[in-house]
Chain A
Amino acid sequence: MEVVTPFIEVADAIEEVGGTDLNLCYQCATCTGSCPWGYVDPLNIRKLIHLAQLGLEGYEGEDLWKCTTCRTCEVRCPRGVNILDLVRSIRMMIGETGLIPQTLRGALGSVKSDGNPWNGKRQDRNKWAQDLGFEPFDKDKHEYLLFACCMPSYDPRSRKLVEATAKILKAAGIKAGVLGNKESCCGESVRKIGDEELFGSLVESNGNIFKENGVTKILALSPHCYHTFKNEYPEFDVSIQVTHMSQLLAELLRDDRLKLTKPIETTVTYHDPCYLGRHNNIFDEPRDVLKALPGIEFVEMHRIRESSLCCGGGGGRMWMETEFGKRFSDLRIPEAQSVGAKVLATSCPYCINMLEDSRLNLNKEDEIVIRDLTELVAEALG
């Protein structure tokens, strides 16, 4: 057994940098019991908080970096502790001592030098938009700035999301332009990794570009971009109206502005992305979209809405290695199959990526497909 002495100065410092609820936690462990890591390789978030309360070491290890910021614990926390702010604050303190895991340092470095976490060249950011005929954003011509996330620029699977988006926007007569190589990563994950300084510089540069170009409305494809523009940029006085693609799709279908003519005869279930659902309470719009698709039978999984299972890609985990079988997405595929789904739909490039990976690893290519809402709607347009 160890002998320890509380180091309250450290606890105070965690509170100082944003972990303001640190002392409210009464150690009931609802967080640990709710954490998706419990399904594969438990993470003791309760103990992590207690160590922080006493300013003790022990959270520098792997555990601190396991949190995907999925927010299941925070939604259920009986004391209303902002657990993610605590995690972020502890990571921030650790970051200052240089103890950030190697792979995350790589992603942060790439954001710093090229404005994306994928080691892609900045000049390649706009390729997809040129290929699809998107014009540079012009406030007189375009209603929306289409902010597609870094992923479609550098990841071939995500490219399909913007292709589908292009088709849908054209069909509905929605005018959207792009900012191309001038924009940078939204910085959502950067902040969760604990690099507040880099996040601040991203907000500043994106904020300036939005301002210079007279952007008033952003259409975001990723819930992560949506979340940070909507809830975090305003902390830095960058307030722009933002719509997530699932919200726009629901609106277009509700207003009968899309003619879905081609039936998709299959059974579909929906995976709630954490940053759309738990972080922003957008649960119904994506379901409304799926239920409007002709020919579809919609079924629900067991872990849905506030209790949805994280794909495992948030909070910096996209850039960290997780052993096959221990990725949350590895559990999501069999869950979807257990309710009879042939299509696992979602509305987030990170989720798509993680789920596709698991589908491949599990050799389920012939049994189930992963689709973004945009892809299904585009398909139904015929």
Chain B
Amino acid sequence: MAEHKANDQAVLVIGGGIAGIQTSLDLAETGITVHLVEREPTIGGHMAMFDKTFPTLDCSACILTPKMTTVGSHPNINLMTYSEVENIQGGPGAYEVTVRRKAAFVDHDKCTGCGLCMEKCPYRTLSEFDQGLAKRKAIYMPFPQAVPNKPVIDAKRCAWFKPPKKPGGKRRCGVCVKVCEPGAIDFEQKARTEKYKVSAVVVTTGFQAMDPSLIPQLGYGKYPEVYSALEFERLNNAAGPTGGAVQTKDGRSPKSVAILHCTGSRDENYHRYCSRVCCMYALKYAHLIKEKVEGCQVFNFYIDMRCFGKGYEEFYKRLQHEGVKFIRGKAAQVWSGEHFKHLVAPDMLPEELSDEQLVVIAEDTLMGDMVRVPVDMVVLTPAFESRADSGDVAQLLGLARNEDGFFIEKSEKFSPVSTGNNGIFIAGGCSGPKDIPDTVAQGSAAASKVLSFLESAEAKSA
């Protein structure tokens, strides 16, 4: 890492989503060494899954991938993907961090990223990045623009790691070894730990989307045409499983789509808070569907439209102009036509409901009447929630969490990226629901707070 040397101070950034990317780049540009740790095989986080961003409809990959590439090649950034922080000791200004580097079974110093191994690997599994809507190989990169642009081997799926059929017999595969010219495949690779001294830590571990099957009446997991938001992001993505075509699983163009707001948000049974991003991405979806599928009707079922950011209300108006229908009332139930015909009085059955369709049931509170809308596809907007392991992270770093599991700021208003520990900072979705602009703003804020801290007497005397 000789070329990384610029300044003798170093900072640890945990999490390589857009918050961690922003913080790392801002810090690295000042000459500080950044150790960026990411659990997945690539940086990019949730933003890498998106096709467009609201309200400007910028291509997400077009604005994100250059930043990712810069992180990957920056002389002051030591990027450690497929890695986790295992331990941290010391205090503000002088921490010693232990990072566990998981075994990728590919020597990334030798690998040229040619991709031949992934092409030839005969073993497939569902792609996590594509939300299970497409398959990936056992040796894989989550997506083609991954940084680093080098694969890892999923030992659970790779046949090499399964015992031979007969004791002492031959291993079942090894195709990747044969096709790899530089000889980068290394089945003997072991996980290893590395230690780093840093003066400050920035936590940018992000969020997860709630599992919508926890709300059984919405039909997720039961009906194939009920999608979670992230599934829809992939479905709609030009690099996704359908090449960006919005279509049903059996390949039909939907004639109508319902987007259901507040799936598990503003709801005491799941998450009491507003997830802040769903109204806007629901509008984005409505626009994209209208743009891609000619003549498709889009219905938004909402409680309140919360379009509070710069250009957001204008985007809402634009969508109204595009003919998207808004029904003020939370969708209470989703049934398939096939089931619904057995459940309801015959005179209450919508005339044009086929067995294959879904019917969304709500009260339109502005009319005070029940509505039943037959659609071909339903998109849910699952709550933005704290990561399942945020408790472990809190314990590792000594952070406090609120009752929803999000990390607590030193002061929500005046120190939004500081914590109770002077050397540890937080940014982005790990401290509560945020959209991309707010997350990036916090990423930069955290970088500048780190710089102030590094100049403080506390850091210098540590």
Given contacts A29-B329, A33-B370, contact A44 B268 (CB under 8 A): no
B268 with A79: CB separation less than 8 A? yes
Chain B residues with Cβ below 8 Å from A33 are 329-333, 361-363, 370
B269 with A303: CB separation less than 8 A? no
User: Could you tell me the distance between the alpha carbons of A303 and B370 in the complex, rounded to whole angstroms?
Assistant: 19
Chain A residues with Cβ below 8 Å from B363 are 29, 32-33, 42, 44, 46
A338 with B342: CB separation less than 8 A? yes
B343 contacts partner chain A, Cβ-Cβ < 8 Å: yes
Chain A residues with Cβ below 8 Å from B303 are 26-28
A228 contacts partner chain B, Cβ-Cβ < 8 Å: no
B329, B332, B342, B345: the one within 8 Å of A302 (CB): B342
**Which residue of A is nearest B331, CB measured?**
A33
**Min CB gap A312→B, angstroms:** 12
Chain B residues with Cβ below 8 Å from A39 are 343-345, 348
Max chain A Cβ within 10 angstroms of own Cβ: one of B266, B268, B370:
B370
**Which residue of A is nearest B332, CB measured?**
A33
**Which residue of B is nearest A328, CB measured?**
B345
A78 with B266: CB separation less than 8 A? yes
B267 contacts partner chain A, Cβ-Cβ < 8 Å: yes
Chain A residues with Cβ below 8 Å from B343 are 39, 302-303, 309, 331, 335
Interface residues of A in 153-177 (CB under 8 A from B): none
B365 with A46: CB separation less than 8 A? yes
The dominant DSSP class at the B interface is loop
**Min CB gap B344→A, angstroms:** 5
User: Could you tell me the distance between the alpha carbons of A28 and B268 in the complex, rounded to whole angstroms?
Assistant: 13
**Min CB gap B365→A, angstroms:** 5
Chain B residues with Cβ below 8 Å from A325 are 345
Interface string of A63-101 (1 = CB under 8 A from B): 000000000000011111000000000000000000000
Chain B contact-residue range equals 20 to 34
Interface residues of B in 242-298 (CB under 8 A from A): 262, 266-269
User: Could you tell me the distance between the alpha carbons of A29 and B269 in the complex, rounded to whole angstroms?
Assistant: 15
Given contacts A26-B303, A44-B363, A79-B268, contact A331 B332 (CB under 8 A): no
B217 contacts partner chain A, Cβ-Cβ < 8 Å: yes
B269, B342, B365: the one within 8 Å of A76 (CB): B269
Q: How many A-B residue pairs have CB under 8 A?
A: 85
**Min CB gap B148→A, angstroms:** 43
**Which residue of B is nearest A42, CB measured?**
B370
B342 with A38: CB separation less than 8 A? no
Chain A contact-residue range equals 20 to 34
B164 contacts partner chain A, Cβ-Cβ < 8 Å: no
A30 with B345: CB separation less than 8 A? no
**Min CB gap B74→A, angstroms:** 45
Interface residues of B in 321-356 (CB under 8 A from A): 329-333, 335, 339, 342-345, 348
B167 contacts partner chain A, Cβ-Cβ < 8 Å: no
Chain B residues with Cβ below 8 Å from A80 are 268-269
Chain A residues with Cβ below 8 Å from B311 are none
User: Could you tell me the distance between the alpha carbons of A164 and B446 in the complex, rounded to whole angstroms?
Assistant: 71
Chain B residues with Cβ below 8 Å from A40 are 344-345, 348
B113 contacts partner chain A, Cβ-Cβ < 8 Å: no
Chain A residues with Cβ below 8 Å from B267 are 78
Chain B residues with Cβ below 8 Å from A303 are 343
B183 contacts partner chain A, Cβ-Cβ < 8 Å: no
A334 contacts partner chain B, Cβ-Cβ < 8 Å: yes
User: Could you tell me the distance between the alpha carbons of A306 and B216 in the complex, rounded to whole angstroms?
Assistant: 9
User: Could you tell me the distance between the alpha carbons of A62 and B296 in the complex, rounded to whole angstroms?
Assistant: 40
B370 with A78: CB separation less than 8 A? no
B368 contacts partner chain A, Cβ-Cβ < 8 Å: yes
User: Could you tell me the distance between the alpha carbons of A353 and B435 in the complex, rounded to whole angstroms?
Assistant: 54
Chain B residues with Cβ below 8 Å from A302 are 335, 339, 342-343
Given contacts A29-B332, A76-B217, A78-B268, contact A331 B365 (CB under 8 A): no
Interface residues of A in 2-45 (CB under 8 A from B): 26-30, 32-34, 38-42, 44
**Min CB gap A73→B, angstroms:** 9
B345 with A331: CB separation less than 8 A? yes
Interface string of B357-388 (1 = CB under 8 A from A): 00001110100111000000000000000000
Chain A residues with Cβ below 8 Å from B332 are 29-30, 32-34, 76
User: Could you tell me the distance between the alpha carbons of A41 and B345 in the complex, rounded to whole angstroms?
Assistant: 9
User: Could you tell me the distance between the alpha carbons of A333 and B332 in the complex, rounded to whole angstroms?
Assistant: 23
Interface string of A321-335 (1 = CB under 8 A from B): 000011000110011
A267 contacts partner chain B, Cβ-Cβ < 8 Å: no
A119 contacts partner chain B, Cβ-Cβ < 8 Å: no
**Min CB gap A38→B, angstroms:** 6
Chain A residues with Cβ below 8 Å from B268 are 77-80
A47 contacts partner chain B, Cβ-Cβ < 8 Å: yes
User: Could you tell me the distance between the alpha carbons of A132 and B331 in the complex, rounded to whole angstroms?
Assistant: 51
Q: Can you name 20 A-B pairs with beta carbons within 8 Å?
A: A28-B266, A28-B303, A28-B330, A33-B331, A33-B361, A33-B363, A34-B332, A38-B348, A38-B361, A42-B369, A44-B368, A46-B365, A77-B268, A78-B262, A78-B266, A79-B268, A302-B339, A303-B343, A307-B217, A335-B342
Task: List the 9 closest pairs (A to B, CB-CB), nearest first.
Answer: A33-B332, A78-B267, A32-B363, A338-B342, A29-B363, A80-B268, A28-B330, A29-B329, A28-B303
